[in-house]
Chains A and B, each alone.
Chain A
Amino acid sequence: MKKKKGLLVSAMSILLLLVLSGCETNLVVFDPKGPQARAIMDLINWSFIWIGLVLVVVVGLFVYIIWKYRARPENADYEPPDEKGNHKLEVIWTLIPIVIVILLTIPTVKTLYALEEVPEGYEDVEPLVIHVTSADWKWIFSYPEEDIETVNYVNIPVDRPVTFKLTSAGTMQSFWIPSLAGQEYTMNKMETELIVVADEEGSFFGRNTNFNGEGYAGMEFEVQAQSPADYEKWVKEAKELSPKLTEEEYKELLKPTHLGRLTYSNTHLDWVDHADHNAELYIDPELYRGHGYPGKIFTEDENENSENHENMNMDEEEHGGEHSGH
């Protein structure tokens, strides 16, 4: 038995060593570049203390007990006592977890509320508002004040709060920049909000974490936190040099594709805000045909004229049965 325990311990320690040596530098969650991510890291570190304590106590007790009371040939006659329980002990190991839960809850709640606000020290700076629209499989960033739209990258000034207003043109995604803040879902016809401050210049990676189909793996974007001067320069250039986005082009953009980086000198908010409850939909199921057997697609004629629905019976001929994307 001793040999086997030893084996387990050594296997675990090799594992730990590998893990720690391999990635000390790239645990992105522990390398925050802004106050929001830092607040979360502090919370995680706090939880580590208590969780570590629990692990040590329980594993210690476990090893001690199975070692001390293991069956040996010498104790073959040992008759264990008939004990039913011990109320005092049971109360103790109910109360201690309760205390730990309270100790973890208080900072959790504080952090939860803090993340909703502009971080301390930045209250006086006017936040930059950026609308984020996720689509299959790209990120669209609209700067309404600057009248710029970018795809798959977003530039922000350092030390200025940024309010991301999140929505989706179709499927549900999750907007995550681990260096700057925790994630938030983007949903069609809804708006969620994420406040972020970068207090260091640099390029940070952001991505979708909520599975949304074939192109999900590549749904990444880059956040460039720039000095205010660089940022202003970029805004100016973007406005001057970039083409205008038309609604037709925008429809193309929203098709399920991967795109590189794009910049436009106006925003799609001029004709549609996907967070709006009655926003027009730009989706086409035909574009999502896969290799499987094609199912029936239901025609999209929502909102305008409900009289049309009389003609839409489920027994009628199948729509779109002929098209199948091979």
Chain B
Amino acid sequence: MEGKINTSAPIEYQSEQSKLNILGFWVFLAAEIILFATLFSVFGVLKDRTAGGPAGSEIFEIKDVIIQTLLLLTSSFTAGIVIFEMRRGNRRGLIIWLVITLLFGLGFLSMEINEFMHYYHEGATMQTSAFLSSLFVLLGTHGAHVTLGTGWAILIIIQLLTKGINPTTAGKMHIWSLYWHFLDVIWIFIFTFVYLAGVL
């Protein structure tokens, strides 16, 4: 239902369907919050159940985690610039900033994969203990979301290149940015409650 176009609103809100999509996505994010909240509670319950395996303080490399955090926080900032450029109608700027955002995201992901490899070599796999199971699944779920977000952004880039900035692509871009910021927020919780609480 593409319906009418209302040009007085920001471009991502101009089509009726985009408006619905954005509200729908907010509701979806609410569901995602519950999903991560559940994973956090599971982690909270199981975090001391190391079953003879390593505890968090023994394996966490806090320096790397801080770098990861900075990468993701910066990518959230550049994602903000993406939306700014989009509203200005600057397709070139939009795509450049989006690519920069994705590079930060990929940097984050590669560090996370490194981190997992490191744990693995320390003998800390998700089969080792309940604590590690919950750690891997929490981090893995977040990492999978970031991966998905990256792939999704690439699809939007292709559509921007072929169709330009219009209410439909702008709506998608806006939704993607919501998603990206959301993942950033989740990471801040992970950083605080998993890593900081784990080493302090």
Interface residues of A (CB under 8 A from B): 298, 302-304, 306-310, 312-314
Chain B residues in 8 Å Cβ range of A298: 127
Question: How far apart sit A309 and B136, CA to CA, in the bound complex (Å)?
Answer: 15
Q: Are A306 and B127 in contact (CB under 8 A)?
A: no
Contact of A310 among B51, B54, B121, B129 (CB under 8 A): B121
Write 13 A-B pairs (CB below 8 A) sorted by A numbering. Answer: A302-B129, A303-B51, A304-B52, A306-B52, A306-B53, A306-B129, A307-B123, A308-B123, A309-B53, A309-B128, A310-B120, A312-B125, A314-B127
In the complex, how many angstroms separate the beta carbon of A80 from the nearest chain B beta carbon? 40
Q: Is the CB of A306 within 8 A of B120?
A: no
Please tell me if the beta carbons of A310 and B123 are within 8 angstroms of each other in the complex.
yes
8 Å CB contact of A302 from B52, B123, B125: B52
Give chain B residues whose Cβ lies under 8 Å from the Cβ of A303: 51-52
> Once the chains are docked, how many angstroms separate the CA of A312 from the CA of B53?
14
**Which A residues lie within 8 Å of B127 (CB)?**
298, 309, 312, 314
Q: How far is the CA of A306 from the CA of B122 in the complex (A)?
A: 9
Complex alpha-carbon distance, A298 and B120, angstroms: 18
When distances are taken between beta carbons in the complex, the residues of chain B under 8 Å from A314 are 127
How many whole Å from B46's CB to the nearest CB in chain A? 13
In the assembled complex, the Cα of A307 lies from the Cα of B53 at a distance in Å of 9
In the complex, chain B residues whose CB is within 8 Å of the CB of A312? 125, 127
Alpha-carbon distance A309/B51, docked complex (angstroms): 12
**Interfacial chain A residues near B129, Cβ < 8 Å:** 302, 306
Per the bound structure, the CA–CA distance linking A312 and B120 in Å amounts to 10
> Which B residues touch A306, using CB under 8 A?
52-54, 123-124, 128-129
C-alpha spacing A308/B53, complex, angstroms: 11
Give the residues in chain B near A307, CB-CB below 8 Å: 123
Residues in B with CB closer than 8 Å to A310 are 120-121, 123, 125
Question: Which residue in chain B gives the minimum CB-CB distance to A313?
Answer: B125
Interface string of B121-140 (1 = CB under 8 A from A): 10111011100000000000
Q: Give a binary string over B34-55; 1 marks a CB under 8 Å from any A CB, 0 the rest.
A: 0000000000000000011110
Query: Within the complex, what minimum Cβ distance (angstroms) separates A291 from chain B?
Result: 28
A residues near B51, Cβ cutoff 8 Å: 302-303
A188 CB → nearest B CB, Å: 13
Q: Which residues of B are found within 8 Å of A309, using beta-carbon distances?
A: 53, 123-125, 127-128
Rounded to whole Å, the gap between the CB of A148 and the closest CB of chain B is 33
Report the separation of the CA atoms of residues A88 and B124 in the bound assembly, to the nearest whole angstrom. Answer: 65
Interface residues of B in 80-136 (CB under 8 A from A): 120-121, 123-125, 127-129
Bound CA span A313–B125, Å: 9
A100 and B129 alpha carbons, distance in the complex (Å): 48
Q: What chain A residues lie within 8 Å of B53 (beta carbons)?
A: 306, 309
What is the minimal beta-carbon distance from A116 to any residue of chain B, in angstroms? 25
B101 → A minimal CB distance (Å): 33
Tell me which residues across on chain A come within 8 A of B121, comparing CB atoms.
310
CB distance from A310 to the nearest CB of B (A): 5
Residues of B within 8 A of A302 (CB): 51-52, 129
A298 to chain B, nearest CB (A): 7
* B52 surroundings in chain A (CB, below 8 A): 302-304, 306
Besides A306-B129, A309-B124, 12 new A-B residue pairs in contact (Cβ under 8 A), listed by A number? A298-B127, A304-B52, A306-B53, A306-B123, A306-B128, A307-B123, A308-B123, A309-B53, A309-B128, A310-B125, A312-B125, A312-B127
